Chain A
Amino acid sequence: MTTELRFDQIRLPPECERLRGEVRAFLAEELAAGTFEPGGVRTPGASRSAEFSRRVGARGWIGMTWPKKYGGHERSFLERFVVTEEFQAINAPVRLHFVADRQSGPILLKYAPEHIKMDVLPRICRGEVCFAIGMSEPGSGSDLFAAKTKATKTEGGYLINGTKIWTSNAHLADYMIGLFRTSPPTGENRRHGLTQFLVDMKTPGIRVNPIYQMTGAHDFNEVVFEDAFMPDDHALGEVDGAWKQATSELAYERSGPERFLETFYVLTGLVGALGEKPDLRGAEGLGRLVAQVHTLRRMSVSVAGMLQAGKEPVVEGSIVKDLGTVWEQKLPARARELAAFVEPEATNRTAFDKQLAYATMIAPKLTIQGGTTEVLRGIIARGLGLR
């Protein structure tokens, strides 16, 4: 416990800049081919996204840091960072492979038995499989350890019963990493008794029901388990001890460029709407926003550097997500104010208004998904020695 914060300065090495050039050229081709539109408003359908993910995999940009024997490319976290930020900044359609690349793959690498790693990881790297995360339940959201969905021991495996909810992409996913209760919590440790499993979504006894979001999009699902059988070798890591495995995962999940770039297109749009010679108010507002996003990016690069150095920057990662998501949430509101006096007929105004409307609509979720602001501040406070 220390109050001493560290964000080491990272200068991206030359191989990162070469790679950045390759990624930009690839994305330019995809844009030209009409695979997606920059700006996030209209996302391509599942089959187009699947083709895109396979092309990304073919470039070697999924599982970049993983061992070659599992289909990985043994490149650095900083190189992975460059690919991720280039994709996020332009809202490339990564939803089918991104969860596997960011967190499911690393969990399997660490905790799955060898034959499962040999089977699943190369397919992730080729962009062929989609993962979902089964954590939240109707009675258990931020309070992860209140999960009730049960994994009951049976011959050769476990029978799963219960319901996961808010499960993004479950309707498209081939696999889920699910958190299930294998034992009741103990008096002294309420976090005890949960186990992570690799769930094949084609397993009989699993039903996926759509939950439409207020934007009209279908991303969330309810996943119902009725005596779904999980073989023993699909339990990941220590039975009853998932809580010990959760913390390092958080540093990966929380500090990446996706935690401050989700509404970045609004800033790009604002620059277009304000034009080459903004008024004083527009210029000042724009300058402050750029200073913020620049700082967030440097923080995120720094955490990637710490991951590369083998550290577990959980507090630093939580700080990046707290500041990043609050910022990306405020961005549409701020951009709206700054563009208030831009003529309705001005160039780029119409496109910008559409993006603004979309970003305004999705803004509330940004400080909820993947760990709420309140949970993050609790983690930071613990890091400061207050809890």
Chain B
Amino acid sequence: MGNDVSESENIVAETARRILADLADPQTINRAVGDTWKTMLWTALADAGLPLAWVPEQHGGSGASLADGFAALGMAGRFAVPVPLAETLLAGWLLSQGGLSAPDGAMTVAPVRPGDRIRLDPDGTLSGQARGVPFAREARHLAVLANGAAGASIALVDAGAVRLTEGRTLAGDASDSVAFDRAKPVSMAPAPPGFDQTTLMLMGSAVRAVETAGALQAILDLSVRYAGERVAFERQIGKFQAVQHNLARLAGEVAAALTAAGSAADTIAHAETFDEAVFLEAAAAKIRSAEAAEQGVAIAHQVHGAIGFTKEHVLHRFTLRLLSWRDDFGNESHWAVALGNLVASHGADELWPLIASR
């Protein structure tokens, strides 16, 4: 069973779709023994300039727009891509915020959890711990946001300069604890005014929301197709009203995630700074897409029955990543508290104007 995702109008997303359809077919990857496919996939993505899409050409990237990068990430979600494409994009974006050049090869970012802090000491070294860093052990470099006496700085760090404690996400992807112990960056620059840890978490959240929406669309496709194939009680199960209504609810969750994520991506792509509008959009996108993931995953599994719970079936490639992504860059509870406090501090009269702000 292939993943016949329809063509995209966006040329960058379409490039991604072609590469992923050829080299990241979920069924093929699910059956693959060893990691050869990974190298081939990464090489093709890198040759197309996708991992460094958010790095300007003068800094070694392909200089695509934020909108194009988000479109490509939606496609990556459609295939539940298990390589650090999103992480490298995000790392490249972070480096370019500091005007730093991006090296070739896979990257990831730190920190990933809102409460983790990396400290920049007066001697120019970095110390601290970042937990749950996706694909850290597969990355050659890390883009790091650190805090020093003079404010936030952005640093490029060689993976050899940090100590990893390996971990895994629910989906089995690398998710490592990264210890910085007087790590010396390859390059470093002050972050632009106003850029702080929340900025990075919001951008990371928008990225995960967009991937989540893509993966939810994929499990809707899989579930509708399966409901049309599987026969029980002498009928396709998709003919039963109970199953139809479950799938209609799944479609609603997909629609909500697509809209929330798309709205956040569109806002960020057109924003001058990470202002309150971006905060509302990105926080809401992370909350709503994570809620959609929770509900959507449950429905997709319910429709698939026992076969969807097997290693052999591809469903888990999507559902377990959907559940894992909820925890990166602030989970839905984190953002809900932050958003709730923001709304409360403005008061009741400002609620509607905030919601109807674009």
Give me the interface of A with B, judged by CB distance under 8 Å: 3-5, 7, 9, 11-12, 20, 85-86, 89-90, 264, 267-269, 271-272, 274-278, 280, 282-288, 290-299, 302, 315-316, 319, 322-323, 348, 374, 376-378, 380-381, 383-387
Q: Tell me if B196 is interfacial: C-beta within 8 Å of chain A.
A: no
Instruction: Name the CB-closest residue of B to A82.
Output: B356
Contact B336 A297 (CB under 8 A): no
Complex formed: what's the CA distance from A164 to B25 in Å? 56
Q: Tell me if B343 is interfacial: C-beta within 8 Å of chain A.
A: yes
- The listed residue with most A CB atoms (<10 A of its CB), out of B251, B259, B266, B288, is B259
Contact A291 B284 (CB under 8 A): yes
Q: Knowing A11-B266, A85-B356, A288-B336 touch, does A3 contact B248 (C-beta < 8 A)?
A: no
* B65 partner residues in chain A, CB cutoff 8 A: none
* B341 partner residues in chain A, CB cutoff 8 A: 277-278, 283, 287
* A268 partner residues in chain B, CB cutoff 8 A: 348, 351-352
> Which listed residue (A11, A276, A294) contacts B344, Cβ 8 A?
A276
> Which listed residue (B6, B255, B333, B337) contacts A299, Cβ 8 A?
B255
A sample of 18 more A-B contacts (CB under 8 A), given A287-B341, A291-B287, A387-B244, is A3-B224, A4-B221, A5-B251, A9-B262, A275-B344, A283-B341, A284-B333, A284-B336, A287-B338, A288-B332, A295-B284, A295-B285, A298-B259, A298-B263, A319-B251, A377-B244, A386-B227, A386-B244
Q: Knowing A268-B352, A291-B336, A295-B284 touch, does A385 contact B224 (C-beta < 8 A)?
A: yes
- B300 shortest CB reach to chain A, Å: 12
Contact A377 B356 (CB under 8 A): no
Contact B248 A322 (CB under 8 A): yes
Contact B224 A11 (CB under 8 A): no
Complex formed: what's the CA distance from A291 to B285 in Å? 7
CB proximity to A under 8 Å, residues B232-265: 238-239, 241, 243-245, 247-249, 251-252, 254-256, 258-260, 262-263, 265
* B254 partner residues in chain A, CB cutoff 8 A: 5
Give me the interface of B with A, judged by CB distance under 8 Å: 6, 217, 220-221, 224-225, 227-228, 238-239, 241, 243-245, 247-249, 251-252, 254-256, 258-260, 262-263, 265-266, 270, 280-281, 283-285, 287-288, 291, 332-333, 335-341, 343-345, 347-348, 351-352, 355-356, 358
Complex formed: what's the CA distance from A280 to B334 in Å? 10
> Which listed residue (A85, A287, A302, A380) contacts B336, Cβ 8 A?
A287
Complex formed: what's the CA distance from A66 to B124 in Å? 66
* B249 partner residues in chain A, CB cutoff 8 A: 322, 377
- A59 shortest CB reach to chain B, Å: 19
Contact A380 B248 (CB under 8 A): yes
Q: Knowing A7-B262, A9-B266, A286-B340 touch, does A384 contact B251 (C-beta < 8 A)?
A: yes
Instruction: Name the CB-closest residue of B to A20.
Output: B356
Complex formed: what's the CA distance from A293 to B326 in Å? 20
Contact B343 A380 (CB under 8 A): no
Q: Knowing A288-B332, A294-B280, A386-B247 touch, does A282 contact B340 (C-beta < 8 A)?
A: yes
* B345 partner residues in chain A, CB cutoff 8 A: 276-277
Q: Knowing A278-B344, A319-B255, A385-B224 touch, does A4 contact B260 (C-beta < 8 A)?
A: no
Q: Knowing A11-B358, A287-B335, A293-B355 touch, does A271 contact B248 (C-beta < 8 A)?
A: no
Instruction: Name the CB-closest residue of A to B287.
Output: A291
* B241 partner residues in chain A, CB cutoff 8 A: 378
Q: Knowing A287-B337, A298-B259 touch, does A4 contact B247 (C-beta < 8 A)?
A: no
* A286 partner residues in chain B, CB cutoff 8 A: 336, 339-340, 343-344
Complex formed: what's the CA distance from A298 to B241 in Å? 29
Contact A378 B291 (CB under 8 A): no
Complex formed: what's the CA distance from A5 to B216 in Å? 11
Instruction: Name the CB-closest residue of B to A379.
Output: B248
* A387 partner residues in chain B, CB cutoff 8 A: 239, 244
Q: Knowing A298-B259, A319-B251 touch, does A278 contact B244 (C-beta < 8 A)?
A: no
* A377 partner residues in chain B, CB cutoff 8 A: 244-245, 248-249
